Amino acid sequence: MRIVELNEETRAGLLEALLKRSPVDYGEYEEAVAGIIENVRTRGDEAVFEYEKRFDRCDLDAGSVRVSREEIDEAYSLLDPEFIAVMRRAAENIRAYHGKQVTQSWISTGEDGTILGQKVTPISVSGCYVPGGRAVYPSSVLMNVIPAKVAGVGRIVVCTPPDSRGKAPAGTLAAADIAGADEIYKIGGAQAIAAMAFGTESVPRVDKITGPGNIYVALAKKACFGYVGIDSVAGPSEILVIADETANPRYVAADLLSQAEHDPMASAILLTDSGALAEAVSGEIEGFLKELPRAEIIRESLDNYGYLFVGKNMEELIDAANAIASEHMEIVTKDPFEVMTHIRNAGAIFLGEYSSEPLGDYFAGPNHILPTNGTARFFSPLGVDQFVKKSSIISYSRSALEKVHRDIELFAENEGLGAHANSIRVRFEEDGNA
């Protein structure tokens, strides 16, 4: 893994390289995705089943596309009971954490007759996409479905790719059941996003689609935004570790590789002010690559987007970290909490050598659906807020409006909107105050 001096030039080069991984820059796929979406939109189930035959080599119809209770029960029987118990414990942690995010409607009244407030309403139907392909992610099911359930969403729909036998992964089905999903459909790819966005004869139209996926899924979500809400256009996974000379190089190396194994386009970055640590981490990485099962993917990821940056001081490292705005950020320093106070941009922050990134992926409770590709500058992790809508409440008595009606009329007239001003003025024209 390359060791690079951190300076303005190398930082700028890194940011440019990372941005190239963004799904919004993959224009060559957009035409194909647009065709899939339009076909599903106009032909419904027929198009979906054709794409499943083509892409997942699976024969489906209206009678088999939805997962049955029997299939869910079969999934439980195929799994290790201990793993099922672990999923249940993880679900408890996720539910407890997200329960603290719930906001309530509120009303504020004034003595002058004003009533202002905010009405919080869950969306009616949410759609959760669960990827397949290189790996199966029941953890993503928990992270998507549970916040929707906590928010009070009335109907939660899950879509996930089947295998060639028409079977959805057992772990995905059990996790969806544990999390409280109402319906599960065996559909993958852009066709699943289109089916949820516009509805088909078999798949209900949803109000919002959440969950990660490959480039086709990401671009499909982007294309359907506006017809349906989405969480974000997610890019490849990424981890950034800020470490000083006190860090354990073996731990740091293991944590960097934990994200590199996801995808050849995943990024793994170390920011340190210790050249000795960077050298030690590089050596540990080479040792791990000899024994890890996904070493080929990891090596390609590290060759593409793996960096060990050595900077002059902690201030320089923090500035670089805020510019990168990583999905996952670990701080392994003498005083990680002090460093954390200077971090502005990160999806999730892990503090100390025993808070490795997989803790957040699976068990701690905070959501692992996080902003990628620098979008942590303006996006937040998936949470309860993404599954509710907020409506403003405004009520004025006549006396309250009378005190301010001229102010409102003047504002409207200065914007050239006479009808706006008139809708206030007519309420006082009879008493001569208009």
CA–CA dist 393, 117 (Å, integer) = 5
Non-local CB neighbours of 338 within 8 Å, separated by 6+ positions: none
CA count, 13 A, side-chain hemisphere, 322 = 12
- Asked if 277 contacts 244 with a C-beta cutoff of 8 angstroms, the reply is yes
Structure token pair of residue 343:
């971090």
Which 3 state secondary structure label does DSSP give 330? strand
Q: Where are the beta strands (DSSP E) in 244-317?
A: 267-272, 306-310
Residue 262 among the catalytic residues? no
Query: Cα 232 to chain center, whole Å?
Result: 6
- Asked if 127 contacts 208 with a C-beta cutoff of 8 angstroms, the reply is yes
Catalytic-labelled residue, pool 98, 262, 328, 405: 328
Residue keyed to tokens 């006082």:
428
Name the residue type at position 346.
Answer: A
Structure token pair of residue 194:
């289109």
Nearest to 385 by CA among 133, 109, 53, 147: 147
Q: Could you tell me the CA-to-CA distances from 64 to 86, 187, 277, 404 in Å, in that order?
A: 30, 11, 55, 62
Q: Could you tell me the CA-to-CA distances from 122 to 63, 138, 180, 229, 387 in Å, in that order?
A: 30, 24, 16, 13, 6
Q: How many CB atoms lie within 10 A of CB 124?
A: 12
- Asked if 198 contacts 175 with a C-beta cutoff of 8 angstroms, the reply is no
CA–CA dist 85, 79 (Å, integer) = 10
Q: How many CB atoms lie within 10 A of CB 191?
A: 30
Catalytic-labelled residue, pool 52, 238, 284, 327: 327
Non-local CB neighbours of 293 within 8 Å, separated by 6+ positions: none
Residue 327 among the catalytic residues? yes
Q: Angle of helix 138-151 relative to helix 81-99, nearest 10 degrees?
A: 40
Query: Cα 367 to chain center, whole Å?
Result: 8
Indicate the length of the chain as a whole number. Answer: 434
Which 3 state secondary structure label does DSSP give 344? coil
- Name the residues annotated as catalytic: 327-328
